[in-house]
Amino acid sequence: MKKKIYLFCSQGMSTSMLAKRMQDVADSHSMPVEVAAYSHGLLNQIIEEKKPDVILLGPQVKYLYEDTVANFGFYGAPILMISPEDYGIMDGEKVLKQAIIALKKKKAQA
């Protein structure tokens, strides 16, 4: 079963480029993940409907972090901020690694 790693930012434009790079890295390593990007306006709807395994927030929406944790932390999905540096250079590999590490930590705690 594919793990769902979803990114959220203000419009979803540049984040979709990062999501594509992450998906390309995952595909090149035959990793069973689905990476997608959405506008933060769809955050509640996407989380409730699609139940992502990892939630990543872009630097532009860091103000949403605490509310997202408060509202969706009970789902058990790791909620992470994408660093401005990794986001700025579109380092899909590094951001994907962070998401995978968060998934492994969650699994170890279960």
The CATH number of whichever domain residue 34 belongs to comes to 3.40.50.2300
User: Which whole number is the average pLDDT over 2-6?
Assistant: 96
* pTM score: 0.94
Retrieve residue 66's tokens: 């605490």
Position 102 pLDDT exceeds 90: yes
Instruction: Give per-residue pLDDT as tens, 62-89.
Output: 999 999 999 998 888 999 999 999 999 9
Query: What is residue 104's predicted lDDT score, i.e. its pLDDT?
Result: 92
Considering its fold, how many domains does the chain have in total?
1
Query: What is residue 14's predicted lDDT score, i.e. its pLDDT?
Result: 83
Query: What is residue 13's predicted lDDT score, i.e. its pLDDT?
Result: 74
Catalytic residue among 9, 22, 26, 61: 9
Instruction: Give per-residue pLDDT as tens, 7-58.
Output: 999 876 789 999 999 999 999 999 999 999 999 999 999 999 999 999 999 9
Q: What residues make up the domain containing 72?
A: 3-109
| Angstrom distance (rounded) from CA 29 to CA 10 | 29
9 catalytically annotated = yes
Give the count of alpha carbons within 13 A of 11, CB side only: 3
